Amino acid sequence: MDASPPDVAGQCAAAHALLICEHCDTVHRRRPLARGEVAECARCGAVLERCRGMRADTMLALVLTALVVFVQATLWPIVTLGLNGQHVAATLWDVIHMMWLDHSQVVAVLAAATLYVFPLAKILTLGWLLIYARSGRRAPGFRRLMVVLHHLGPWTMSEVFVLGALVSIVKAHLYFDVLPDPGIYAYGALMLLITVFAGIDLTRLWDETRDDDAETTS
């Protein structure tokens, strides 16, 4: 007589019915959340889960919008400085290049990473996951990419750049003719989109997608 296979589906269902606080390891029983509702840990008060309230198709549309805005923000001039009838427009890469030439290599690398590399990596990674999540599947490399998204979150600092640029424009206006260019507005739009992404509970993708390889082997 053949041994009966393990109830993999039952084990997965039982695991999905539980929530474990990543701060104090307290185990909670999951229940459905209403739109805008947040589940908090009973012991330490940390946020366990948020109601995403947004389908994968809608999230993918936002990601594509963020990608278009990101390209515009990095290619369009950010600000134009005028003095004695001469005007100079600068893009993000112009500013980074000037900082590098001004012996501020560390600042230039940090600016390039937080304003270009990390936001682009987050947009592309999230888009890759959502393309598969639309049909309830997990993208290749799902587990590793979810960990990457978790670590990229604090390093996308477009909002810091926008606020710093606005303060600099106000101060520079005392000495130069300063004109904000479309790039700064594109960065403002990108800041809003990234803020929207920050309020979405991406951990729900674990529950809303299935691993085809696991189903095949089981």
CB-side exposure of 192: number of CA atoms within 13 Å? 8
Single-letter code of the amino acid located at 188: G
Tens-place pLDDT, residues 187-201: 888 888 877 777 676
Give the predicted TM-score (pTM) of the model. Answer: 0.68
Q: Are 133 and 150 in contact (CB under 8 A)?
A: no
Q: Assess whether pLDDT exceeds 70 at residue 16.
A: no
Kindly indicate the confidence band of residue 5, based on its pLDDT and cuts at 50, 70 and 90. Answer: very low
The length of the chain is 218
Average pLDDT over residues 115-134: 87
Alpha carbons 46 and 39: distance in angstroms, whole number: 9
Mean pLDDT of the chain: 76
Q: Tens of pLDDT along 68-98?
A: 998 988 888 887 777 676 777 778 888 788 8
Angle at 210 between CA 155 and CA 28, to 5 degrees: 70
Contact 209, 156 (CB under 8 A): no
60: phi then psi, degrees, rounded to nearest 5:
-65, -40
